[in-house]
Structure 1
Amino acid sequence: MNNTLQKNKEYKKFVVDSRLQYFKPHATKIEKTFAEEISSGLGTNSKSIHPKFFYDKKGSELFEKICSVPEYYPTRTEISILKKLQSELSSYLDEDFRLVELGSGSSTKTRLILDFLTSQKTLEYFPIDISEILTESSEELLNDYQNLTITGIIDTYEGGLEFLKTYDDKSNLIIFLGSSFGNFSPIDGYKFLEKVYATMKPGDLFLIGLDLVKDKTILESAYNDSEGVTAKFNLNVLSRINDELDADFNLQNFSHHAIYNEKDQRIEMYLKSLVDQSIIISKSDLELKLQKDELIHTEYSHKYRLSQIHDLLDDVGFELKHTWLDDKKYFSLTLVSKT
């Protein structure tokens, strides 16, 4: 392993066995960052909580449930595309590639990629996820893929990419599935793609999933499912703040609120205060005052047109290889390389 990584004092290394190791920021670093970001986001007039904080263990489990509700089309649609593109994607993989995944979660879709990499001499997987679920899903993958080795990073995408940048010289296939890229603002999304590009070596590949613009009714139903799972997912971030930052949010005083903004091509998700209230967040040294009907922004999910996707990737400097769509043209998977 690269000495730079071994000496990285911000991470603690955990070796489970000869096939599985993972790196995690020291607990003090995680708590400080969480507390500071919550204080910054909620201490302004336009209150917000970054969507990356959805994904503690319970939040990750709730998101897996969201993926199976009838109204939430992105996951099953993307899986249908992945199943169809396997033979075509293989033609771009003419050497051994390490699979790097941003936001691996439970690694359900990961298996569809691993299945057509199994012919490689070595099968190496590098999941990057902010949630502890990474360790559980990794152990399950090792049971099913006997020639697989895993090095996981429990950190933000940006932290994981920086970690990867100095790892070694092996070619990487980086995948960013789901529609998580849509959580970025246009400016931050562009900067993130620049980060991916800077991490890649010439010849590396990047496969990104993006949700497409479609009927407002379909979109709003997907984020307001009839079973209320998305509402629980949204509210869970308050439970996390209670548990980790010693806050006193009463979840009964909030409701889930999600709408589609057609002008800006995005779903907007909020937590709505149902009463005038005051909340103490001890570890952020913050007293939060909310009026009835005041909103806390928790997520944007931007939707794209194909022309916008291709222009964006081209502007960053990527070389477009191929775009795959489902039959209804609800979702896209685009493969690019670094020249």
Structure 2
Amino acid sequence: MNNALQENKKYKKFVVDSRLQYFKPHATKIEKTFAEEISSTLGSNSKSIHPKFFYDNKGSELFKQICSVSEYYPTRTEISILQKLQTELPPFLDEDFRLVELGSGSSVKTRLILDFFTSSQKNTEYFPIDISEILTESSEELLNDYKNLTITGIIDTYEGGLEFLKTYDDKKNLIIFLGSSFGNFSPIDGYKFLEKVYSTMKPGDLFLIGLDLVKDKTILESAYNDSEGITAKFNLNVLSRINDELDADFDLKNFSHYAIYNEKDQRIEMYLKSLADQSIVVSKSDLELKLQKDELIHTEYSHKYRLSQIHDLLDDVGFELKHTWLDDKKHFSLTLVSKN
């Protein structure tokens, strides 16, 4: 490793033991605080809440439940493709690859990839990049299950973590971005993000990205309006979080979950709909919010793609397409690319 990096003024190194270490930016703020962002996005004319704020402890638990409901196909579909990859991805790799994940995980998906890394390598390195400190907890669970695994966590934004990786060492990386999280980006921000990934990569590095595909509107809208109402609870929970953490007085009975598929823009649009004229105070954001009946607060976009769009997008950034894997119904894709 570049010794100068260890002294990098931006990051502090924490060594838990011989198999687990993590880097975290010094006291500089990684991003705006929760209160600052809520003040900005709810205080604007087009009111919104960033989807990253869904994932407090309760939100994360609700999302796990969403992944199990019958209508929500993305998680189980991506897992079915990853099971195929256990035999089909290794020919693209060798002993020298490290696994880098954007968004840390101890879930089934991460483990499916770690299974063949740890079975084919004497020692496997895993670099989760995540803004949340939860990666330290999930890392310890993984270390218990994989005895030849070492983990270096990077607690930072994806962009910050990728910049860190760029100067870390010369080892080849397989960077993975699963779960169709890319679909939450706007087209412009998504393109910039892919450019960042590309600029980080060395010749020989690989990038595996999961993307949800355009399909029948009924399937898509059912996935985000499940019959058990779990997605509705998940969406409304962000208001509970604002109440708890920012001393707000949202009455959840005055809101409903609203999700539709915009066919023109190929995206699911998720909102919280105000069921009455109402006024809400968010004390720690110094915000008094006035909402009219039926006014919408935008909480998430989830863009869907055609295969031709995926290949054109990756090609425009400069990637070289290696392989695309699909499920039997062609609902979801995993695409492997390298740097030209």
Moved more, 127-136 or 181-190: 127-136
Aligned to 2:227: 226
Looking at structure 2, the residues matched to 125 and 303 of structure 1 have their Cα atoms a distance apart, in angstroms, of 29
Contact 2:272 2:296 in 1 (8 A): yes
The structural deviation recorded for 1:9 is 5.2
The structural deviation recorded for 1:30 is 5.8
The structural deviation recorded for 1:162 is 2.3
The structural deviation recorded for 1:82 is 0.7
The structural deviation recorded for 1:27 is 7.5
Per-residue deviation, residues 63-119 of structure 1 (Å, max 9, x unmatched) = 111111111101111111111122221111034111111123443201111111122
Per-residue deviation, residues 191-231 of structure 1 (Å, max 9, x unmatched) = 11001111111111000000000011110110111121111
Per-residue deviation, residues 121-148 of structure 1 (Å, max 9, x unmatched) = 3201111223343222211111110010
State how many pairs are aligned: 339
Contact 1:213 1:304 in 2 (8 A): yes
Ranges in structure 1 where 5+ consecutive residues have no aligned partner? none
CA 1:73–1:274: 2 relative to 1, 3 Å? same
Looking at structure 2, the residues matched to 278 and 25 of structure 1 have their Cα atoms a distance apart, in angstroms, of 38
Contact 1:55 1:131 in 2 (8 A): no
The structural deviation recorded for 1:28 is 7.7
Contact 1:53 1:237 in 2 (8 A): yes
CA 1:255–1:3: 2 relative to 1, 3 Å? farther
Contact 1:105 1:131 in 2 (8 A): no
CA 1:10–1:120: 2 relative to 1, 3 Å? same
Ranges in structure 2 where 5+ consecutive residues have no aligned partner? none
Contact 1:106 1:133 in 2 (8 A): no
CA 1:252–1:31: 2 relative to 1, 3 Å? farther
The structural deviation recorded for 1:13 is 4.1
CA 1:12–1:60: 2 relative to 1, 3 Å? farther
Per-residue deviation, residues 274-325 of structure 1 (Å, max 9, x unmatched) = 2222222233222211111111101000000000000000000000000000
Moved more, 99-108 or 118-127: 99-108
Looking at structure 1, the residues matched to 128 and 187 of structure 2 have their Cα atoms a distance apart, in angstroms, of 25
Moved more, 46-55 or 297-306: 46-55
CA 1:242–1:154: 2 relative to 1, 3 Å? farther
Identity, in percent, stands at 91
Contact 1:210 1:304 in 2 (8 A): yes
Per-residue deviation, residues 154-173 of structure 1 (Å, max 9, x unmatched) = 33322322222222221110
Per-residue deviation, residues 45-68 of structure 1 (Å, max 9, x unmatched) = 111111112122322222111111
Looking at structure 2, the residues matched to 299 and 269 of structure 1 have their Cα atoms a distance apart, in angstroms, of 5
The structural deviation recorded for 1:7 is 4.2
Contact 1:214 1:330 in 2 (8 A): yes
The structural deviation recorded for 1:271 is 0.9
Moved more, 87-96 or 72-81: 87-96
The structural deviation recorded for 1:2 is 4.1
Please give the TM-score of this superposition, normalised by the length of structure 2.
Answer: 0.93
Aligned to 1:138: 139
Moved more, 119-128 or 29-38: 29-38
Q: What secondary structure is seen at the aligned counterpart in 1 of 2:329?
A: coil
Looking at structure 1, the residues matched to 24 and 242 of structure 2 have their Cα atoms a distance apart, in angstroms, of 20
Looking at structure 2, the residues matched to 336 and 89 of structure 1 have their Cα atoms a distance apart, in angstroms, of 12
2:283 is aligned with 1:279: no
Please give the TM-score of this superposition, normalised by the length of structure 1.
Answer: 0.94
Moved more, 12-21 or 138-147: 12-21
The structural deviation recorded for 1:12 is 4.9
Aligned-residue CA RMSD (Å): 1.9
Aligned to 2:98: 98
